[in-house]
Amino acid sequence: MSGHYDGRRFHNRNGSDKHLGDISRFLWTSLFNEQPWPKWRDNPPADAIEPQVSSGIRATYINHATVLVQVAGLNILTDPVWSERVSPVAFAGPKRVRAPGIPLSDLPEIDLILISHNHYDHLDTASLRAIRQQQDKEPLIVSGLGNQQLLRKQGYPSATELDWGGSLLLGDITIHFVECQHRSGRGALDQMKTLWGSFVLETPEGAIYFAGDTGYSEHFREQGERWGPFALSLLPIGAYEPRWFMQDIHLNPEEAVRAHRDLRSQQSLGIHFGVFQLTWEAIDDPLVDLADALESQGVASDTFWVLEPGKGAVLTP
């Protein structure tokens, strides 16, 4: 059994686990401290999606932590969310202020889906069911321990769950599920019952890192030493205020730039911002704070960047 599981719950290495009392305090104080967001923001016209990419790495930002990564002839989707709300109910909870950059119906055939953890903004069952229904074949879907049963119910009988350090092969890519610092839970009674994590993809075009959701810790340096340099890292830059609650589980832009450096990432794409208001900061604060962090840490802005929903970037060796 996993060394970070005590028979009832999974744990972070440093014990930075939030409890229901912390969550309740955060939700209550958020009523009085959230910065106002716009009710809606339009997206620019989307870039055309190629059915397949045979050389280089193409990353298309869809929204939140959802990115279409095309590499080595495979189409990979991270934490797909197309739902209007990220919530256990359809009538309440965080509501999107931007449409997904690519309509779900315009997706190419997906080969691999990565699920970092089971929070509603990362494991969206409605989106997963819709993807499966429009696919000719079942994509491989990979997540942490304890998520397999839920994923199979969405139409993925081959769903695979991994512990930190687990790996598997798909085509020319090796998929590693690796440690990060976060938490899990879809309700009051299942907190920390399933495992959260990040992904390392070893590909012929270079290593790719998908952080999912995480706080800052030594795991970035360790993973950079083991698998770096990374050709591309997908790093969260939003949902970070107030720090008393979020610091253990969400990067702020300053920490995201430190993670970029620790990973020895050649290029990083900022994700997890500007779509759902999950925390207190204003909608554009992550972009302002990212620019400040890059300048203060002496990191070139063309190595850590963001994309509008629906826009893509091609990285060549």
The pLDDT score that the predictor gives to residue 170 is 98
Q: Tens of pLDDT along 3-15?
A: 899 999 999 998 7
CA dist list (Å): 299 to 15, 62, 123, 252? 31, 25, 32, 16
Q: Tens of pLDDT along 157-210?
A: 999 999 999 999 999 999 999 999 999 999 989 999 999 999 999 999 999 999
- Give me 127's structure tokens: 């989106």
**Among 245, 146, 152, residue whose Cα is nearest residue 195:** 146
State how far the Cα of 111 lies from the Cα of 129, in Å rounded to an integer.
15
Select the more confidently predicted residue: 2 or 149. 149
> Are 77 and 112 within 8 A, CB to CB?
yes
State how far the Cα of 174 lies from the Cα of 203, in Å rounded to an integer.
7
* CATH (residue range 41-299+307-315): 3.60.15.10
Rounded percentage of the chain residues whose pLDDT exceeds 90: 89
Mean pLDDT of 310-315: 97
The pLDDT score that the predictor gives to residue 1 is 53
Task: Write down the residue that tokens 């107030």 correspond to.
Answer: 242
State how far the Cα of 162 lies from the Cα of 133, in Å rounded to an integer.
25
> Are 248 and 15 within 8 A, CB to CB?
no
Compute the mean pLDDT over every residue in the chain, rounded to the nearest whole number: 95
Is 116 in a helix, a strand, or coil? Answer: coil
The pLDDT score that the predictor gives to residue 317 is 73
The pLDDT score that the predictor gives to residue 52 is 94
Mean pLDDT of 291-310: 98
pLDDT tier, 156 (very low <50, low <70, confident <90, very high otherwise): very high
Distance of alpha carbon 67 from the chain centroid: 8
Residues 6 or more apart whose CB falls under 8 angstroms from that of 10 comprise 2, 4, 145, 146, 184, 192, 193, 194, 195, 196
Q: Tens of pLDDT along 38-87?
A: 999 999 999 999 999 989 999 999 999 999 999 999 999 999 999 999 99
Select the more confidently predicted residue: 188 or 272. 272
The backbone torsions φ and ψ at residue 127, rounded to the nearest 5 degrees and listed phi first, read -65, -40
Helical pair 253-262 and 219-227, crossing angle rounded to 10 deg: 30
State how far the Cα of 124 lies from the Cα of 138, in Å rounded to an integer.
17
